[in-house]
Structure 1
Amino acid sequence: MKHYYQLKVGLNDLYPNIWRQIIVPASISLDRLSDVIQIVIGWENIASHYWATASGEFFAEYIPPRKNTGVSLENQMPLFDILNKKGQEMEYMCVIESDDLSRSDRWRHIILLEDDHYKLSLYEKEDDRLPFVRCVAGFGKCPPENVGGIGGFYAYRQIMTERKQPQFGNMFREHGGINCPNCHIYDPNYFDIDTVNRELKKYCRWSRNRHYLWLEEEDLDSSW
């Protein structure tokens, strides 16, 4: 029997919070969990990112070319080695630098372990060939990644919601435009869980072999 976690991923610095509730294998590695978070929140995966634990550990996509940075590779760390008790948290930070490096947008996610022994229901069937990953709840529309951080997002949300402001046309073209047919109907509370789960299913099917296979904890020396 596989071991699953129920996590709540939240952009807790925003009000109201944008959040997702997801089910993942406890053995998922941090690089894979990053991919899942990018999908469920709605990011475009253009930001760099790192993880910070309550004990002061840091994990990233790569280790900076300096000694003694205290940063470890995320693809070698399974989630259950960091979060293993209900109520534990860690941070997932996405950072987007401007072209001239004069500004960086930071999006802090809090990862909360809500259930450390999640049991799949009769409707949540396992597939021996694929890991079970599912979004079960959520709230709020994902901000545009390059909107200017939290302050920029609040301004964007107000302009897009009210529509009558003179900046609406520029906002519409820059963050959606003709590639987003429904952008002119902006609902900050909108979340399409069905689309998210379809994308998760495709991700699990087509990206299994990027670093490690999804393995059971008893089969792991380091991570999946």
Structure 2
Amino acid sequence: MDNIIQLKITLRGTKPAIWRRVLVEKTITFEGLHEIIQIVMGWANSHLHEFTVQGIRIGQPLDEFDADFGEELIDEATVTLESVLTDSNQKVDYTYDFGDSWDHTLMVEKWLASDSAITYPICTGGKLNCPPEDCGGIPGFYEMLHIVNDERHPEHQEMLEWLGEVHDDKAFDQQEVNRQLVTFFHSK
């Protein structure tokens, strides 16, 4: 029985693409998928988020916030992936941080049988480091990289201080990501 979904998560607007590939159980909720995305992408889970699947909005209901949009937001804690995703090549949009608008495309690549030797969820691949939080979205991220990589830029030192360290845009530690997934999902 195919009860594992292979998803490719791509941060839109980045070139080369910043992406992760994960294997998740089809019974996980969108709330759980949000946690997975936060861990594998390297986000800090400090902003609002929302999924959109075939025009349906799924996220954390916040009465005072949702009233402004006029559309119903389905509670992510009540919706499983298998109830919405039915086959390969389906896309899910995920936005994290409505200010910086980190827009992601989640592509269902394939459905797989579970393997008892694997602890799910698991990250099976990825490329490049995720942008730091609150850097101004995609335009701010690329401006930040320009400043950090130009030691003569007048804002170079200030940007390094804001970052707290040098941002290695190539860094992606799959083992560390999987350690965090195990800790979050299996240490409760």
Mapping for residues 22-101 of structure 1, pairs under 5 Å? 22-54=22-54, 56-65=55-64, 66=67, 69-96=71-98
CA distance in 2: counterparts of 1:113 and 1:161, whole angstroms: 35
**Paired residue secondary structure (2:100):** strand
Structure 1 unaligned blocks of 5 or more = 97-103, 178-182, 208-224
**Does the Cα contact within 8 Å between 1:87 and 1:113 map onto a contact in 2?**
yes
C-alpha offsets along residues 14-62 of structure 1, whole Å, 9 cap, x if unaligned?
Answer: 11110000011011100010001000000111110011112x1001111
* Offset at residue 64 of structure 1 (A): 2.6
Structure 2 unaligned blocks of 5 or more = none
CA distance in 1: counterparts of 2:146 and 2:3, whole angstroms: 42
**Does the Cα contact within 8 Å between 2:5 and 2:25 map onto a contact in 1?**
yes
2:101 to 82, 102, 106: 106
* Offset at residue 69 of structure 1 (A): 2.7
TM-align CA RMSD:
2.0
**Does the Cα contact within 8 Å between 2:2 and 2:111 map onto a contact in 1?**
no
CA distance in 2: counterparts of 1:74 and 1:135, whole angstroms: 22
Mapping for residues 161-180 of structure 1, pairs under 5 Å? 161-177=149-165
**Paired residue secondary structure (1:162):** coil
Structure 1 stretches of 4+ with a deviation exceeding 6 A read none
**Paired residue secondary structure (1:27):** coil
CA distance in 2: counterparts of 1:90 and 1:173, whole angstroms: 36
Counterpart residue identity of residue 186, structure 2: R
**Does the Cα contact within 8 Å between 2:2 and 2:112 map onto a contact in 1?**
no
Aligned residues: 185
Residue 183 of structure 2 corresponds to which residue in structure 1? 202
Percent sequence identity over matched residues? 29
- TM-score (ref. length: structure 1): 0.76
CA distance in 1: counterparts of 2:139 and 2:44, whole angstroms: 20
